[in-house]
Amino acid sequence: MRTSTFLSVAAALTSSVSATVYQGFNYGSTFTDNTAKTQADFEAEFTAAKNLVGTSGAFTSARLYTMIQGNTVSDPIQAIPAAIKEKTSLLLGIWASGGQAGVTNEIAALTAAITNYGTDFTDLVVGLSVGSEDLYRVSVTGLINDPTGVGADPTTLVEYITQVKTAIKGTALANVPIGHVDTWNSWTNSSNNAVIDAIDWLGVDEYPYFQNTVSNSIDSAYDLFWEAYNATAAAGGGKPVWITETGWPISGKTENLGVPSLANAKTFWDEIGCASAFGKVNTWWYVLQDAAPTTPVPSFGLLGSTTSDATLGTQQPLYDLSCANVSLPASLLSSPSTATTSGATATRTGSTSGTQTTPGSAGSTGTGTGSGSGTSGTSSSQSVSPSTKANGASTVAASSMFLACALFAGAALF
């Protein structure tokens, strides 16, 4: 049992190393005041990502939460023509917590985009996620962190996945890998296995900062991160696991031992991004810039908060993003987490994980620059999630945006 678990983890890692490895950011569809991002706004973001000082043009992929242009019923999101212009690859998202009507509109936007933009669009698509943290929002922890959270249960998600597959059959996106994005402890909850069976890849949102029920100082972040990744890979039984959101905030509330700061955000970038994930696992970081005009708390933006496309174009990162001379500290290099297999197995046993909250995705409505914002809601005790908001669809209230994903566990994962 342990052996097969281990092999499946190894298989998942191997398969994500073999092909092109994508690297990019998450992009919401609206600003925190609910105005919709336009094509020009997306172009400014995609350009800023490619020109991000210190990163040598590596950030050329965009993960979206919705197919729908903000404040429309079912128009294709203007991130698509922006991506075509900027040659930015796309991890598409269908917002799946807006009920059947919302998903029907998402599918209408998807099919309209295929028709309107043709292969200029479809050639850029690296994957399509049906849903974002929908299972987390209706989990025990999700509801503790946000009792008003709206999600979707596994049966409903599988139905939506089937609808999306039917909609793309016979189109240029017929072979696009279909996935779902959720928190790691949603993936390890076997009640959700039907979703895993229905998809080609698992997207995992991981924020050790929010794992406030375990020892989650920045010094533990590397191990917490990879334990959660490995647990997801084991649950996935060999299907690839993509890192769809991760990051460490520069400011905001302290979550147990997780302290937001520039220094800690840089350490997280160096250890998780530079030294281990970038170039090896498809990764969409959270986040290029904070949502605006209201800066979210906590703040995850590499560029801080920007207020206009022009400012964005000249913004310097808040800390050094160069991976050139980055290597893992000796303490991590010698730890089982980077060791070979046998050591790794040993570590996992007994690991705990705690609550991880994700900034994640938020709510339903859409949003933001990704980040979610702090705008609404939040009563602060919950761990807020910066996350993302998604879609512009109207359905849910913007205020439910914070997700926090707490992933807990306690139980040995392997």
Ligand X SMILES: *[C@@H]1O[C@H](CO)[C@@H](O)[C@H](O)[C@H]1NC(C)=O
Instruction: Please give the residue ranges that form the binding site for ligand X (CB under 6 A).
Output: 9-10, 13, 135, 138-141, 153-154, 189, 191-192, 223, 226-227, 230, 322, 324-325, 336-339, 341, 344, 347-348
Residues forming beta bridges with residue 142, ordered by sequence position: none
Q: Closer CB to ligand X, residue 223 or residue 290?
A: 223
Q: Closer CB to ligand X, residue 259 or residue 339?
A: 339
Distances in Å between the Cα of 273 and the Cα atoms of 141, 248, 270, 326 are: 27, 11, 6, 10
Q: How far apart are CA 141 and CA 202, in angstroms?
A: 20
Burial class (CB in 10 A: 0-12, 13-18, 19+), 294: middle
Q: Closer CB to ligand X, residue 161 or residue 344?
A: 344
Q: Closer CB to ligand X, residue 293 or residue 336?
A: 336
> Which candidate, 365, 334, 357, places its Cα nearest to that of 404?
357
Active site residue 106: no
The nearest distance, CB 279 to ligand X, in angstroms, is 16
Q: What are the phi and psi torsion angles at 25 (to 5°)?
A: -130, 165
Active site residue 271: no
Q: How far apart are CA 203 and CA 173, in angstroms?
A: 19
The DSSP-derived string for 19-61 is S---EEEEE-SB-TTSPBP-HHHHHHHHHHHHT-TTSTT---E
Q: Identify the active-site residue in 45, 106, 245, 255.
A: 245
Residue nearest to ligand X (CB): 344
The distance between the two most distant Cα atoms of the chain, rounded to a whole number of Å, is 55
> Does an H or E element contain 131, and which?
strand 125-132
Q: Identify the active-site residue in 45, 86, 133, 227.
A: 133
Instruction: Verify cis geometry, omega within 30 degrees of 0, for the bond prior to 298.
Output: yes
Q: Closer CB to ligand X, residue 191 or residue 307?
A: 191
The nearest distance, CB 143 to ligand X, in angstroms, is 8
Residues forming beta bridges with residue 89, ordered by sequence position: 61
Q: Closer CB to ligand X, residue 18 or residue 325?
A: 325
Please state, as a whole number, how many other Cβ atoms lie within 10 Å of the Cβ of residue 177.
16
The nearest distance, CB 170 to ligand X, in angstroms, is 32
The nearest distance, CB 76 to ligand X, in angstroms, is 30
Residues annotated as part of the active site: 133, 245
